[in-house]
Amino acid sequence: MNESIALQAERIEVGAIEYSSFSSTINGHYHNAKIVVLMDTNTHDLCWNWLQTTVNVLQRTQMIVVPPGEENKTISVCTQVWEALLEYELSRHDLLINLGGGLITDMGGFIASVFKRGIDFINIPTSLLGMIDASFGGKNGVNFFGFKNQLGVFQHPIATYIDKRFLHTLPAEHIKNGWAEIIKHALIGDRELWHSIVQLETLSDDISNDIFERSLSIKITVVAADPHERGMRKILNFGHTIGHALEAYFLTRQYLAHGHAVALGIIAECYIARKLKKLATDDFVQITTFLKKHFHIPKIDHLAVAEIVQLLHSDKKNYGGQIQCAFIDKIGNCLYDQAVTEEICAESLQFLFFNTPEA
């Protein structure tokens, strides 16, 4: 069933894209506009043909294909795309369509928002993580000097079209990465949703509409209440303080996907919440046992802990020289602006990687 949700400046439509407002938007508002579709090589090979044949309004588009992978979420790849947009002579009235996972929608949103002081863009997420989280809410950006999302803007897409059929070609590993954000949404805002998730044997692409929609609605509600992250939107960063440091640490080593890093970050941050006596032991044990069962814990050297703690100092949420964290005090409720020490972060990493008992 096609469903449409309005989120202030942006429209989110869930369902078969051919029955959405996509074609009428292109034929109407962008009738005379140039349209460029940005994708990575995977979404080019696996999603583009299907999209073009499913909606027949994309025949007159140009495409720009960039390499996949978080290591390419950089300003230099953006520069190549901006050069191509200039070659295609895009004006401020033209349109960029981002077809891909969170990498493409984050980077494409940034590219569009900066080009000629901002052109319109539409997101068509193709990964679970993109659908449930990255493709709406207005945060766009790229990594810089090895740190996550250091350059970016708040800008909403004109619309986001979520068609779950794109998930048919998404590798199982990336399905699981998307689940990390669904789990985060449940933990910060919906205890009942968590109870449905914790009963699952596998985290597969067989996601019930109920779980999908409840997860989506948590992010939508939070963003609507605080679009520019002045306050409560920070709860969406649960798992991301430690998660982003892990992602940055592994960026130049073995690959660790964003969702996977967030799942590990949730384990560590639940440890912190437990240690600070905010989170009850039962909740702590249930969450960490479930996540450790479903998300592989990579092997690291003991010395790496100090290096990861160092990376926490580049987190965008820090202020006054202090590491700031969002963590839950019970399943379904999240606190934000919680200052945490380096020592407790290091301890949480020991728990995560070396299974040291909870102190």
Say how far apart CA 96 and CA 37 lie, in whole Å. Answer: 6
Member of 14, 38, 90, 129 binding ligand NAD (CB under 6 A): 129
By CB atoms closer than 10 A (0-12, 13-18, 19+), residue 117 is exposed
Q: From residue 104, how far is each of 39, 42, 115, 174, 208 by CA, in Å?
A: 6, 11, 16, 15, 26
Member of 12, 20, 78, 130 binding ligand NAD (CB under 6 A): 130
Query: Interacting stretch for ligand NAD, rule CB under 6 A, among 5-13, 18-26, 97-105, 207-215?
Result: 97-105
Judged by CB under 6 A, does residue 169 bind ligand NAD?
yes
Query: Interacting stretch for ligand NAD, rule CB under 6 A, among 26-34, 96-104, 273-281, 310-318?
Result: 96-104
Closest to ligand NAD by CB, 43 or 113 = 43
Binding mask 21-60 for ligand NAD (x = CB under 6 A): -------------------x-xx--xx-------------
Closest to ligand NAD by CB, 14 or 279 = 14
Judged by CB under 6 A, does residue 103 bind ligand NAD?
yes
- By C-alpha distance, which of 147, 150, 124 is closest to 139? 150
Say how far apart CA 286 and CA 148 lie, in whole Å. Answer: 29
Member of 55, 124, 137, 324 binding ligand NAD (CB under 6 A): 137
Say which DSSP state 58 is in: -
CB count, 10 Å around CB of 303? Answer: 7
Sheet with 10-14: strands ordered across: 3-7, 10-14, 159-162, 120-125, 95-100, 35-40, 62-66
The residue of the chain with the least Cβ separation from ligand NAD equals 102
Give how many residues touch ligand NAD by CB under 6 A. 31
Contacting ligand NAD within 256-275 (CB under 6 A): 257-259
Ordered DSSP codes for 232-283:
GGGGGGTTHHHHHHHHHHHHTSS---HHHHHHHHHHHHHHHHHHTT-S-HHH
Member of 134, 246, 264, 287 binding ligand NAD (CB under 6 A): 134
CB 76, min distance to ligand NAD, A: 16
Closest to ligand NAD by CB, 126 or 215 = 126
Say how far apart CA 278 and CA 280 lie, in whole Å. Answer: 7
End-to-end CA distance of the chain: 49
Residues forming the site for ligand NAD (CB under 6 A): 40, 42-43, 46-47, 68, 70, 73, 100-104, 106, 126-127, 129-130, 133-134, 137, 139, 149, 166, 169-170, 174, 177, 257-259
